[in-house]
């Protein structure tokens, strides 16, 4: 693996209770990392990574449908037919559950054999995906930074099942950011991975530099969020007056 050239120190300003996690998808076994000595779902690996030294996992370590979205094994007809979602009452009928497989991103079979995990303060590799666990106030800053220089809308994509596909694989495969709120996906919810109401923001590798640079440039706390109602009216009036004057003199 290539060592990371990025400076992630800007993220220390957030004082995250749960550290950001860097993830890398690998064909070959990584050097310098210990292998996970347990078999657990990838969402629990993500949580483990926030509190322990960097590690990697192989096919035998994944204990849920995550191995399907990682391309480590083929889904069975029972899974793709939607029978599970029907019997567990998540969907009205199997046909609704099976439709999600048209949308869920999966890594091509056998192109990923290992997945590495690390917090950003211990990272020794360039991340493929960087995932933040943020409060709403922290998420506001991160999400604004992700559109600060582009103005592009931010879209959350998810299904109540296979949330791992949307959080880990979708950003990696598409280059699009994604975010979800804890408590919505059944896998993380039933395992009590994290408290409800936190934002999980997943950033693909090609947008990480933009995120860092925008966080350095922009104001994190906007004046309109700290002023009283009367002060905000005066502030907005001054801004509009300035814009109008510039327009008239242009």
Picking from 12, 20, 72, 9, the residue whose alpha carbon sits closest to that of residue 46 is: 20
Confidence label for 54 from pLDDT (cuts 50, 70 and 90): very high
More confident residue, 234 or 58: 58
pLDDT digits (tens, 9 = 90+) for 170-203: 999 999 999 999 998 887 888 888 999 999 999 9
Q: What angle do CA 202, 217, 246 make, to 5 degrees?
A: 125
Highest mean pLDDT among 40-44, 114-118, 192-196, 244-248: 114-118
Pairing of strands 55-58, 34-35: parallel
Q: pLDDT at residue 3 above 80?
A: no
pLDDT digits (tens, 9 = 90+) for 120-145: 999 889 999 999 999 999 999 999 99
Q: pLDDT at residue 222 above 80?
A: yes
Picking from 76, 72, 69, the residue whose alpha carbon sits closest to that of residue 106 is: 69
Mean pLDDT of the chain: 92
Strand partners, 118: 22
Domain extent listing, the chain: 9-218, 222-250
Task: Describe the strand order of the beta sheet including 178-181 as a list of residue ranges.
Answer: 34-35, 55-58, 114-119, 21-26, 129-134, 199-204, 178-181
Hey, what's the torsion of the CAs at 174, 70, 39, 58, to 10 degrees?
A: -110
pLDDT digits (tens, 9 = 90+) for 8-44: 999 999 999 999 999 999 999 999 999 999 999 999 9
Q: pLDDT at residue 228 above 70?
A: yes
Q: What is the mean pLDDT of residues 147-159?
A: 95
């Amino acid at each position: 693996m290539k060592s990371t050239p990025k400076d992630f120190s800007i993220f220390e300003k957030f004082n995250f209770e749960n550290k950001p996690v860097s993830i890398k998808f690998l064909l070959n076994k990584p050097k310098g990392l210990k292998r996970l000595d347990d078999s657990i779902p990838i969402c629990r690996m993500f949580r483990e990574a926030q509190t322990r030294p960097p590690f990697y996992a192989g096919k035998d370590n994944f204990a849920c449908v995550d191995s399907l979205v990682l391309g480590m094994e083929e889904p069975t007809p029972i899974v793709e037919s939607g029978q599970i979602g029907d019997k567990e009452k998540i969907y009205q009928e199997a046909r609704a559950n099976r439709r999600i497989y048209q949308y869920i991103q999966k890594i091509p079979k056998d192109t990923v054999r290992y997945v590495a995990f690390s917090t950003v303060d211990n990272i020794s590799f360039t991340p493929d995906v960087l995932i933040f666990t943020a409060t709403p106030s922290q998420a506001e800053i991160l999400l604004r930074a992700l559109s600060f220089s582009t103005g592009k809308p931010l879209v959350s994509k998810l299904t109540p099942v296979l949330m791992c596909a949307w959080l880990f694989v979708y950003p990696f495969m598409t280059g699009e950011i994604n975010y979800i709120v804890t408590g919505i996906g059944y896998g993380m919810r039933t395992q009590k991975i994290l408290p409800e109401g936190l934002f999980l923001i997943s950033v693909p590798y090609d947008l990480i530099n933009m995120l860092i640079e925008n966080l350095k440039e922009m104001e994190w706390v906007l004046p309109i969020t700290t002023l009283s109602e009367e002060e905000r009216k005066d502030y907005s009036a001054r801004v509009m007056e300035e814009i109008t004057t510039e327009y008239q003199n242009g």
